[in-house]
Amino acid sequence: MKGPGRAGHAPRGPAAAGPGRSGHAPPAPGADWPAAAPDPGRLGDGGPDDAGGTRRWHAELAWLPGSGVQRDVLIEAAGDRFTAVTPGVEQGTVPAGTVTLRGLTLPGLANAHSHAFHRGLRGAVEADQGTFWTWRDQMYRLAAVLNPGSYYALARAVYAEMALAGITCVGEFHYLHHGPGGVPYADPNEMGRVLLRAAADAGLRITLLDTCYLSAGLRRDGTPKPLRDVQLRFGDGDAVRWAERAAGLGADSRGMLSPQARAGAAIHSVRAVPPSQMHEVMGWSHKFGAPVHAHLSEQPAENADSLAAYGRTPAQVLYEAGVLGPRSTVVHATHLLREDIDVLGASQTSCCLCPTTEADLADGIGPARALAAAGCPISLGSDSNAVIDLLAEARWLELTQRLASRRRVHFTADELARAATVAGHACLGWPDAGEITPGALADLVTIGLDSPRLAGAGLAGVDPASADEAVLASVVFAATSSDVRHVVTGGRDVVRDGRHLLVEDVPAELAAAIRSVLASPE
C-alpha cells in the first residue's frame, strides 16, 4: 500500500475546541443545543506535566513508523505535539510523573467516513429482508425528525462512542443542512456547527465534509431528478449557493475552523451532483486547500444510471470533471471496471472503504487490493455506524478480500494499521497526524493485551525475534473496541482506563438521544 502523499497543509489556527468537561450534563435531547461560544481550548484532560510543560508516557509496546513494534518506548510531548520518541528506555529509569501504558500503543485512529445520525438505526433495520434502497427509506425517516438540539445530543454521544473505540479524528460526511421543507435555519450552517461542537465536546478532532447534494437521481437523458420530501433538507439549489453557504462556516485560508476542526468538501455522488456543478465544488476546495470526498459506485444501480445518462462510469465522470487527485477520496468504490481502478490509481486518489457497512447493506466487496496496487492510499470508515470499531474495519478489509478470492493475506497487519491511522488522517487533511514521531500531533490509543481475545499475543508459533511484531497482527485480527484502555488527543487525555473523561455515561447518553429521536413524530 502506498503512503498517503497529501499536500502539506499543516493545520494551525486560532479557535476553540469546546467546553465538554467530565460531569457536565448535555442538553435534553431535542432542546436547543449549547450554541454559546465554547471555551478556548484543548481536548480532554492535560494530565501530569513537568515544570517545563512536557508530558511523558512509557509504552510497554508501541508501533512506530519505519521500525514497527518497539518495546519500552518513552514518548514525550509539549502542547499538542510529540517532541521525542525513544525506544528501549527501561521502566525504572523514566522521569517522575511519566504515565505507564500497558499493552500496545498505536497512533490515534482516523474514522475517514461517518454519518453520525445513522447510528440511530443500529438494530432497527435488521428484521426484514430488503436492499440498500429500502434501508435508505428508513434513514430518510430518521433524517426527517432531527433538529439542532436532538442532532447535537445524538452526535455528541456517537462521537464519544468513537473516542472509546480509539478514534481521535472523524470525517463527518454532512448533508443534513436545512430545516424541514428545505427552509434554511437563521444560521444556514447551524447543523454543521452542531457537529463541530459535538465533536469538540466528545474530545474528537473533526473534518466537516460539507456535502453538495442537489438532485435525487438521474434520468436517462442526464437531467437531474428534483429533490423531494426529506431530501429538500440536503440541497442548496445549486453549487454556487452551496459554496456561499459553506464559506459561511468561516474557515481560514488553510481551511481551519479551529485547532481541532477543519472544513472539507464532499460531492455526494454522481447521482446527486451533475458534472456541470462539480467545478464549483472543486474551486471552493482549491481556495481552502480542503480535502474533497465523494461516494463512488457503492451500488450497481449508480453505475447503470451514470452509463445511461452520460455514457460514462461514475469514476470516469469524476475524472472528466476534474474531481480526482491527491486531495480527493472516493468512498466505497465497490463496483469498478479495470479502467476505473487505473484512473483512480493514476490520479493518486484515496479510497475509503467501510467493510462493516458495506456488509450490513449488502453492497458487495470492492477490489481493495487492486486499488492499493494501482496507487490508491486506502483508509477506513464506520459510515452508517452499524458498528463503531476501526479495528474491525481493518480486519474485515482483509477478510472480505479472502472471501472474494479464496486466498489469504492480501494486506499485512502493518498495511491495515496504516489504513486505520496515517492514511485516514491524511485523506481528512491532517497529514501531520497518525504517526508516533516527533512533530506529529500527539494522539495515542493503547490496546490492552489482557483480555481473553488477546491472551498469548505474540507467543503462538512465532520466532522470538519477531514476537513483538506479531502483537500488532494479534491486535488487528482479534482485538475489538472493548480492548481500548487509554486515548490521548492532542496531548490531552480523553479516555483513561476505558472511561470517557468528558462524557460521563456514554451508553446512557446514546440511549437517551436515540430514544428521543425515534419517538419524534414525523
Active site positions, annotated: 332, 383
Instruction: Report residue 441: phi and psi, to 5°.
Output: -60, 135
Strand partners, 329: 293, 350
Of 234, 74, 59, nearest to 144 by C-alpha is 234
State the Cα–Cα distance between residues 444 and 169, nearest whole angstrom.
11
Residue spans of beta strands (DSSP E) within 347-460: 350-353, 378-380, 444-447
Instruction: Report residue 105: phi and psi, to 5°.
Output: -100, 130
Task: State CA 443 to chain mean position distance.
Answer: 15
Q: DSSP secondary structure string, 321-366?
A: TT--STTEEEEE--S--HHHHHHHHHTT-EEEE-HHHHHHTT----
CB distance 166 to 390 below 8 Å: yes
Long-range contacts from 128-137, C-beta under 8 angstroms, 24+ separation:
131/362, 132/298, 132/299, 132/361, 132/362, 132/363, 133/301, 135/361
Contacts of 143 (CB under 8 A, 6+ apart): 117, 176, 230, 233
Tell me the H-state helices in 188-335.
190-202, 239-247, 275-288, 300-310, 314-320
Residues in the chain: 522
DSSP-derived pairing of the beta strands 217-218 and 224-225: antiparallel
Residue 470: all three cell numbers together: 506479531
CB distance 413 to 471 below 8 Å: no
CB distance 356 to 396 below 8 Å: yes
Owner of C-alpha cell 514525550: 76
The 3-state DSSP class for residue 181 equals helix
